[in-house]
Amino acid sequence: MAAHPANPTWRARMKWLMNNPLSKLLEYSFAHGVHPQEHKAGTMALSMQRMPFSSRYLVPVNQHLGAPSKPVVKVGDPVLRGQVIAEPGAFISTCLHSPVTGRVHAIDNRRYPGGMFSLSITIESDPYDTQRIPEHPRDWRHLTADQFVAEIQQAGIVGLGGAAFPSHVKYSIPEGQHIDHLLVNGAECEPYLTSDHRLMVERPDALLKGIEILLHNLGAKSATIGVETNKPDAIATLREHIGSDSQRIRVVPLRVKYPQGAEKMLIKSIFKQEVPAGGLPRDLGIIVNNVGSVVAIADWFERSMPLIERVVTVAGDGVAKPANLIVPVGTPLREVLRFCEGMQSDISQIVMGGPMMGTSVVSLDVPVLKGTSGILAFRKLQRTDSREYPCIRCGRCLEACPYFLNPSRLARLAKARLFAEMQSYSVGDCVECGSCTYSCPSGIPIVQLIRLAKSQLRQSGDTRE
Amino acid sequence: MNNILVAPAIMTGLGVLFSVILAVAYRLLRVEEDPRVEETETLLPGSNCGACGEPGCHAFAEKLVQGSLKPSQCTVATSETIDAVAELLDVDPGAQERRIARLRCAGGKAQAYQIAEYLGFENCRAAAVVSGGGKGCAWGCLGLGDCRVACDFHAIEMNSNGLPAVSPERCTACGDCVEACPRNLFQLVPVSQRLFVQCSTPLRSDAALALCRVACDACGRCASDAAPGLIRMVENLPLIDYSAGGPARPDATYRCPTGAIQWLEGAQFNDPVGPNKQHQSHYAHSH
């Protein structure tokens, strides 16, 4: 019953207060960071859509962090959708599964989004197959810790936020440590991307199921889902589905700010605690997981569906039909862009991932990876003036850096090739979020310089990372 | 007693005390060094380049005096210098084949296909960490001149084709360029070894040729044309093993369809038009 506007009830007054001036105070956030334009309006209301199967898939064996997987199929072998085609090469590595029923066409070096080449398994899909695979629930209530870790590795689940770090490594808790909280990352702070947003709105049940599985197997007491306030429908949907369980699982509104979704920032915003330099969230008893990874866990235990597809936002001014697509991992970029009519002739840049941390791709033959959260095609270069001007010492990068580093000093040291000295300025703590480069009025490629230094330090082997 | 004299008296006393301590320490704690080490060091080039494997010229001189190294292991010194050192220490100068840095890539701007425009920081390693620059080949020379900056002897110039031309006269085989190259393309080879593969791609046939006109497509003709055992195909590239096989002759290069294997005479990428001046000023600006 709506109250008359001239005579609002107390409830309506409180609601107005909560939604307007007070809501800002209730948001969780961290110091520093930047506010890039969101550009999410074009895709945030579009339902997830399944992309039709393409004729060929490319699965690179090193699409996750850690050791590359070892192929276990031979050229010419028939494969089923969801069948294991590569096994983990080490503990920090994971299984790869065929995204489609078909035949192994080739196992050779192919280009992958980093611009480099990697051993890849090419699979030709069988056009007459229904691509349906048997679904059966798996037991998750009676697993030992080791069995649970093995299950996650078997499912090929990696962090779907972009870094593609194998999830099972996070879940193998060393002796003596205890996990109290599960933090589910639904911040999605990168501009343009709406894939996590749609997942939260459309599959809240799967998300909550995944949380339940994780809470049970990690022995954690409570879970927190952090969602930026630019996704009010996601917050409302999740709260509605959590219902009476809100003691155990809560949804926390986060201020719209970049990089809110960075693991360490999320912990700082919500728990007001800092992960020590060189440490991991689990040192604080917290495990952080992306929304997509949690849903993938639910899919594995409920339907035996390994990580063979993910939600990808296709957007940017070069795409005629922006979409949130469910794309099988390994789909060539060309096919995705063709489906979204993003193959205009005047496209000048295609980015995989978000615009802040994603990488420009140099070829359309590269496949969608497990860590690809978005595909953005731009007509004109986003940075119009690519020239670099001298540092004017305005200090904007210092105000932007969420880790309180001194990016301008780091950039200057990198230019002077004083890489060893950069370590005393904690270059190893930089997560390359790009806030400094974004805020630099002189167009200095600070993050690239820092990455250059890290690469050099890794090579000379004296990094403290 | 006049107060003003106390301070100078104390200071003088301290000065005398410390000078006595220093004088005693000089006598008692003295490290005897062979005078020949210093003499040898003055003869050496003094570039401290580290090519001999020692941390610097002084350490090299110490090792020479000890007799654990041979004078010719200094790759920078001229033959006269080496003879002078050998004479001073009365040792065998040793025979060391002169080596030179050669690039395992011939895919310059005119040969390797460019598939994207690189707008980032002008530095090879920086380009290598973001999508590998604009060249389609993920193994080839990035052409942004990290080796040129790293070379202490000014032996490397970027030619107009975007490839580093190593001056055979100036190169001392110190190995700085080997370390600087993010693609690990430089190899230190004896000057007399003329048969050289100018490509590093592990791809074969059409996949390799799709990247570069002078790529090795792993056809294996050089291996079959050369003296038995000289060339083996390893990971789709010819591996030349001078110790294993017969004499190297230019014959091996005759049937190469792309020119990836070359019989080099002198410098590797001599630039017919001379170093690109515009390029040079650009690098001078950015470093």
Q: Which positions 61-120 of A are in contact with B (Cβ < 8 Å)?
A: 108-109, 111, 114-117
Q: Do the chains contact at A455 and B207, CB–CB below 8 Å?
A: no
Cβ-based contacts of B147 with chain A (< 8 Å): none
The mean pLDDT value of chain B amounts to 83
A42 located within any domain: no
Q: Do the chains contact at A359 and B130, CB–CB below 8 Å?
A: yes
- Residue of chain A whose alpha carbon sits nearest to that of B137: A116
Same domain, residue pair B80 and B183: no
pLDDT score, position A287:
93
Same domain, residue pair B196 and B72: no
Q: Is A359 in CB contact (< 8 Å) with chain B?
A: yes
pLDDT score, position A21:
62
Domain C-terminal end among A272, A303, A334: A303
Q: Is B50 in CB contact (< 8 Å) with chain A?
A: no
Domain C-terminal end among A303, A332, A358: A303
Per-residue pLDDT 10s for chain A (465 aa) are: 444 556 678 887 777 766 666 666 778 888 899 999 989 988 999 999 999 999 999 999 988 888 999 999 999 999 999 999 999 989 999 999 999 999 999 998 888 887 788 899 999 999 998 888 888 999 999 999 999 999 999 999 999 987 889 999 999 988 888 899 999 999 999 999 999 999 999 999 999 999 999 999 999 999 999 999 999 999 999 999 998 887 899 999 999 999 998 989 999 999 988 888 888 888 899 999 999 999 999 999 999 999 999 999 999 888 989 999 999 999 999 999 999 887 777 888 899 999 998 888 888 889 999 999 999 998 876 566 678 899 999 999 999 999 999 999 999 999 888 888 999 998 989 999 999 999 999 989 899 999 989 988 887 765 443
Q: Do the chains contact at B203 and A117, CB–CB below 8 Å?
A: yes
Domain C-terminal end among B62, B89, B116: B89
Distance from CA of B117 to the nearest CA of A (A): 9
Distance from CA of A302 to the nearest CA of B (A): 38
Q: Do the chains contact at A362 and B131, CB–CB below 8 Å?
A: yes
Same domain, residue pair B112 and B242: no
- Does the pLDDT of residue B129 top 60, yes or no? yes
Interface A-B: count of C-beta contacts within 8 A? 59
pLDDT score, position A126:
92
B141 located within any domain: yes
CATH number at residue B158: 3.30.70.20
Q: Is A386 in CB contact (< 8 Å) with chain B?
A: yes
ipTM, 2 dp: 0.78
pLDDT score, position A189:
92
Closest alpha carbon to A254 in A14, A33, A42: A33
Q: Which of A61-65, A328-332, B172-176, B261-265 has the highest mean pLDDT?
A: A328-332
A187-to-A183, A199, A419 alpha-carbon distances in Å: 11, 12, 34
Three-state helix/strand/coil letters over chain B: CCHHHHHHHHHHHHHHHHHHHHHHHHHHCCCCCCHHHHHHHHHCCCCCCCCCCCCCHHHHHHHHHHCCCCHHHCCCCCHHHHHHHHHHHCCCCCCCCCEEEEECCCCCCCCECECCCCCCCCCHHHHHHCCCCCECCCCCCCCCCHHHHHCCCCCEEECCCCCEEECCCCCCCCCHHHHHCCCCCEEEEECCCCEEECCCCCCCHHHHHCCECCCCCCCCHHHHHCCCCCEEEECCEEEECCCCCCCCCCHHHHCCCCCCEEECCCCCCCCCCCCCHHHHHHHHHHC
Domain C-terminal end among A303, A324, A350: A303
Same domain, residue pair A288 and A409: no
Same domain, residue pair A154 and A259: yes
CATH number at residue B63: 1.10.15.40
Which of B115, B125, B130 is most worth mutating to test chain A (most A CB atoms within 10 A of its CB)?
Answer: B130
Same domain, residue pair B147 and B159: yes
Same domain, residue pair B209 and B231: yes
Q: Is B182 in CB contact (< 8 Å) with chain A?
A: yes
Domain that holds residue B79: 36-89
B172 located within any domain: yes
B15 located within any domain: no
Same domain, residue pair B147 and B255: no
Same domain, residue pair B72 and B208: no
Same domain, residue pair B172 and B287: yes
**Residue bearing the bigger pLDDT, B241 or A313:** A313
B285 located within any domain: yes
Q: Do the chains contact at A362 and B134, CB–CB below 8 Å?
A: yes
Q: Which positions 388-417 of A are in contact with B (Cβ < 8 Å)?
A: 388, 415
Question: Which residue from B119, B138, B182 is facing A115, i.e. has the nearest CB?
Answer: B138
Same domain, residue pair B106 and B140: yes
Same domain, residue pair A283 and A149: yes
pLDDT score, position A1:
44
Domain that holds residue A216: 145-303
Largest CA distance in chain A: 75
Distance from CA of B41 to the nearest CA of A (A): 29
Q: Do the chains contact at A452 and B131, CB–CB below 8 Å?
A: no
Number of structural domains, chain B? 3
Same domain, residue pair B220 and B240: yes
- Model confidence at B73, in pLDDT bands (50, 70, 90)? confident
